Amino acid sequence: MANNNTHLVFGACPLCGEETTAEIDDAAYSKYQDLLNADDVDFDDYIAAFPDDRKLAGFLYCGLCENHANIK
């Protein structure tokens, strides 16, 4: 049986200051924790970890709001 716990992650967009939260499941949270604990991680690592959700990758990387998270 799968564990369906969710986790709230807080962020503040460095570009506009908007404060938001994201609710992510255990699997995404585990990936996020791995990235936080790794050395020499950049935005490309977050995109690789969350390839289907670029907005989530931008948010988890540095708190980018929905309007700014689609940077290329």
What is d(CA 47, CA 61) in angstroms, rounded to the nearest whole number? Answer: 9
Beta bridge partners of 23: 8
What is d(CA 72, CA 57) in angstroms, rounded to the nearest whole number? Answer: 12
**Please, where are the H alpha helices in the chain?**
26-37, 43-49, 54-62
Low-confidence stretches of the chain (pLDDT beneath 50): 1-2
Would you state the pLDDT for residue 1?
41
pTM of structure? 0.85
